[in-house]
Chains A and B, each alone.
Chain A
Amino acid sequence: MIKLTARAWAGGLILVLASVVGADQAIKSGYEYIKPETQLMQDDDIENPGFIAVEEGRELFNRMPDSGKSCASCHGEGGAKLDVKNLARYPVYDKALGGIVRLEDRIRNCEEKQANTEALPYYDHNLLALETFVRNLAKEEPVNVQTDGEMEPLLKKGDEIYHTRYGLIDMSCAHCHDMYPGQYIRGQRISQGKGNGFPAYRLDTGEMANLDLRIKQCLTLMRAEPFAPDAEESKLLETYIMAHSNGLKIETPAVRY
Chain B
Amino acid sequence: MKTVSTLLCLLCVSVPVLASDDAAVPPPEPYCQWEMVNYSIPEPLCGLKGDAANGQKVVLDSARGNCLACHQLPVDGVEAYGTIAPPLAGIANRLGEAQLRLRVVDSRHLNPNSIMPGFYRDPSLINRPAAKYAGRTFLSAQNVEDVIAYLETLK
* Residues of A near any B CB (own CB < 8 A): 164-171, 175-176, 179-180, 183-187, 190, 220, 223-226
How many residues belonging to B are interface residues under a CB distance threshold of 8 Å? 22
CB of B127 within 8 A of CB of A164, answer yes
Q: Mind listing 8 A-B residue pairs with CB under 8 Å?
A: A170-B126, A171-B117, A180-B115, A184-B81, A184-B84, A185-B84, A224-B130, A225-B128
CB proximity of A225 to chain B, nearest CB, Å = 5
* Residues of B near any A CB (own CB < 8 A): 68-70, 79-84, 115, 117-118, 121, 126-131, 133, 136, 138
Most chain A CB within a 10 A radius of its CB, from B80, B81, B117, B118: B117
Q: Which of A166, A183, A187, A220 is in CB contact (< 8 Å) with B84? A: A183
Contacts of A187 in B (CB 8 A): 79-80
CB proximity of A182 to chain B, nearest CB, Å = 9
CB of B138 within 8 A of CB of A168, answer yes
Contacts of A184 in B (CB 8 A): 81-84
Q: A170-B117, A175-B115, A185-B84 are in contact. Are A223 and B69 (CB under 8 A)?
A: no
CB of B84 within 8 A of CB of A180, answer yes
Chain A interface SS verdict (over half): loop
Q: A185-B69, A224-B128 are in contact. Are A168 and B136 (CB under 8 A)?
A: yes
CB of A170 within 8 A of CB of B80, answer no
Contacts of B129 in A (CB 8 A): 167-168, 223-225
Contacts of A168 in B (CB 8 A): 117, 126, 129-130, 133, 136, 138
CB of A167 within 8 A of CB of B127, answer yes
CB proximity of A57 to chain B, nearest CB, Å = 31
Most chain A CB within a 10 A radius of its CB, from B129, B131, B138: B129
CB of A223 within 8 A of CB of B127, answer no
Q: A220-B130, A223-B130, A224-B128 are in contact. Are A169 and B117 (CB under 8 A)?
A: yes
Given the complex of chains A and B, what is the CA–CA distance between A176 and B115 in angstroms? 8
CB proximity of B58 to chain A, nearest CB, Å = 16
Q: Which 9 A-B pairs have the closest CB atoms?
A: A187-B80, A175-B115, A168-B133, A184-B83, A186-B80, A183-B83, A169-B117, A223-B133, A225-B130
Contacts of B127 in A (CB 8 A): 164-167, 170, 224
CB proximity of B138 to chain A, nearest CB, Å = 6
Contacts of B80 in A (CB 8 A): 186-187
Q: Which of A170, A171, A180, A185 is in CB contact (< 8 Å) with B121? A: A170
Most chain B CB within a 10 A radius of its CB, from A168, A180, A225: A168
Contacts of A175 in B (CB 8 A): 115
Given the complex of chains A and B, what is the CA–CA distance between A190 and B84 in angstroms? 10
Contacts of B68 in A (CB 8 A): 186
Contacts of A180 in B (CB 8 A): 84, 115
Contacts of B115 in A (CB 8 A): 171, 175-176, 179-180
CB of A167 within 8 A of CB of B81, answer no
CB of B130 within 8 A of CB of A186, answer no
